[in-house]
Structure 1
């Protein structure tokens, strides 16, 4: 990053986190109370517009609620409910309403995306070792794909149980957990009387305020540089970014990233980043950004247009920028990625 960029960041209070950037600008009604903690395997920032004693209490409670969600849904934690469902397959496992709700949501979007988002993608994700830069062979991928099928997840709502039909299947709600945790944190803040706030989970942001309240500034990151492409001034919106730069390695000239296309078994190609802006929920915007990334620009654009109150900014690996008409910012139609 050049010195001018560093200076700009210092002046405007820009926080670079994952795919999005929070921008806290001084305003006439003062800066919000904010706190950053490590949760959900990332640094999460919560900002609250309220008197500091009240904001401090509300933010603390919001973080506690986010940790509850993480404890239940983190498949890499052997104590989580999701891990238990994976271990006990094909037996049904009784779970909390949080876990049941997240899986139900995942199954719904798995269905309407026609498998481009698949909540059972875990076996494929596990094949790619990003630390050792290991690319699995074709036979390994094909074998893992036999265990990826959201239709093999069985839910009994009356008993509050989840069962995977095949041993070796892996539920992976990583594309839901951060958004769901943000949604739950939002509920806590509202219940505590916070009228405006922003929750940033690294690649997602939930912004809320009254009609008279402040708009929150969220910057969209350049896929290849620590730079801001544009800044969204938003109120009561959810913004999520999926990018090929968040977790990846390059081998033999090819970039292998963490967003696996369940239909091919390999990292999705064609797009460098997808940013979804939605009014519905942070969990929904998280899921849609992942699904659209896997679909590619044409199917992804059609998919977003079929949804209500949802917009998208897609950046192709060639640097082309595609944005739907209601995106709240102007962006160049072409950027340099190399």
Structure 2
């Protein structure tokens, strides 16, 4: 029996998720679906800041100060540590306090006094990470929401590769493929239009991953100015005069997502950052002018 493209969907990590697989036997799908969804649920239960029982919540409450963490968590924290330095401190997972002063459901800016108090609790160096343990101070709250979904995409893609399966993993727009599909040289991946429904561009993805960031997912508009949920750790505000959308292709989704997020946080310096990273990218400014290192 020849392989057929089979798919399943589920909801996790705050959004819709889909997996597309080339399989010969349909009954394989049920087993694989359970294994992959179980892995996403495991990571969500472990690293979600919204679940009181999660490992991350325990860390944020100071319950695991100076306790050696498991290898998976150590790997993520070491990755964050490297990205913090590489990004000029723009990539900072300690912005959790800002989520308490910004409300993107109502068109109001935060009180400047509340914002100033929140900024006092931000700073990756306040985590006191030594490569194995944390020691949180200054009521710092770690938020791994900017990398856990991308990490989960990579984990699922790794599981597919270990099984020798051809597939595409899509967790709310963060995508990785195990290899090219059977019938074509590459998967066709659409890039979300930042100002209306539908796609603004399309790219070919034969291997690796693509992830994007933009000002259209969660935002408020006040006096014609858009304020999105991507907040800078130095000002507490979104970066002005930057891109409205960035998509980056890399060998893994974690890297692609990090580079695209930093490009948004860099504001006017976002284009220079993308060029410095030397990864394939597609970006759009506020006038929807395209900046791209690849053909789209």
Q: Give, in whole Å, the separation in 1 of the partners of 2:64 and 2:56.
A: 13
Q: Given the alignment, which residue of 17, 34, 46 partners 1:44?
A: 17
5 Å-filtered alignment, 1:5-24, equals: none
Q: Classify 1:163/1:134 alpha carbon distance in 2 versus 1 (closer, same or farther; 3 Å).
A: farther
Match of 1:83 in 2: 57
8 Å contact 2:180–2:205 — kept in the other structure?
Answer: no
8 Å contact 1:100–1:162 — kept in the other structure?
Answer: no
Q: Classify 1:67/1:116 alpha carbon distance in 2 versus 1 (closer, same or farther; 3 Å).
A: same
5 Å-filtered alignment, 1:300-319, equals: 300-307=270-277, 310-319=279-288
Q: Give, in whole Å, the separation in 1 of the partners of 2:151 and 2:195.
A: 28
Shift of 1:103: 1.9
Q: Given the alignment, which residue of 40, 54, 78 partners 2:28?
A: 54
Q: Given the alignment, which residue of 262, 272, 276 partners 2:248?
A: 276
Q: Give, in whole Å, the separation in 2 of the partners of 1:210 and 1:115.
A: 36
Shift of 1:144: 1.4
TM-score, normalised with respect to structure 1? 0.80
Q: Give, in whole Å, the separation in 1 of the partners of 2:109 and 2:68.
A: 36
Shift of 1:134: 3.7
Match of 2:236 in 1: 265
Match of 2:146 in 1: 175
Match of 1:66 in 2: 40
- Secondary structure at the aligned position of 2:52 is classed as coil
8 Å contact 1:81–1:99 — kept in the other structure?
Answer: no
Q: Give, in whole Å, the separation in 2 of the partners of 1:323 and 1:39.
A: 31
Q: Give, in whole Å, the separation in 2 of the partners of 1:203 and 1:84.
A: 29
Q: Classify 1:133/1:83 alpha carbon distance in 2 versus 1 (closer, same or farther; 3 Å).
A: farther
Match of 2:172 in 1: 202
Q: Which runs of 4+ in 1 moved over 4 A?
A: 210-213
Shift of 1:149: 1.0
Please say which of residues 199-208 and 98-107 is displaced more in the overlay: 98-107
- Secondary structure at the aligned position of 1:88 is classed as coil
8 Å contact 1:240–1:285 — kept in the other structure?
Answer: yes
Shift of 1:189: 1.7
Shift of 1:266: 0.4
8 Å contact 2:64–2:134 — kept in the other structure?
Answer: no
Shift of 1:277: 1.1
2:134 maps to 1:162 = yes
Shift of 1:125: 2.9
TM-score, normalised with respect to structure 2? 0.91
Q: Give, in whole Å, the separation in 2 of the partners of 1:295 and 1:220.
A: 21
Q: Classify 1:140/1:47 alpha carbon distance in 2 versus 1 (closer, same or farther; 3 Å).
A: same
RMSD of equivalent CA atoms: 2.1
- Secondary structure at the aligned position of 1:136 is classed as coil
How many residue pairs end up in the alignment?
Answer: 292
Shift of 1:235: 0.9
Shift of 1:137: 2.0
Q: Give, in whole Å, the separation in 2 of the partners of 1:50 and 1:209.
A: 14
Q: Give, in whole Å, the separation in 2 of the partners of 1:191 and 1:56.
A: 17
- Secondary structure at the aligned position of 1:59 is classed as helix
5 Å-filtered alignment, 1:125-140, equals: 125-140=99-114
Q: Classify 1:210/1:307 alpha carbon distance in 2 versus 1 (closer, same or farther; 3 Å).
A: same
Shift of 1:192: 2.5
Match of 2:290 in 1: 321
Q: Classify 1:143/1:89 alpha carbon distance in 2 versus 1 (closer, same or farther; 3 Å).
A: farther
Which structure is higher in RCO with an 8 Å CA cutoff and minimum separation 6? Answer: 1
Q: Give, in whole Å, the separation in 2 of the partners of 1:213 and 1:190.
A: 18
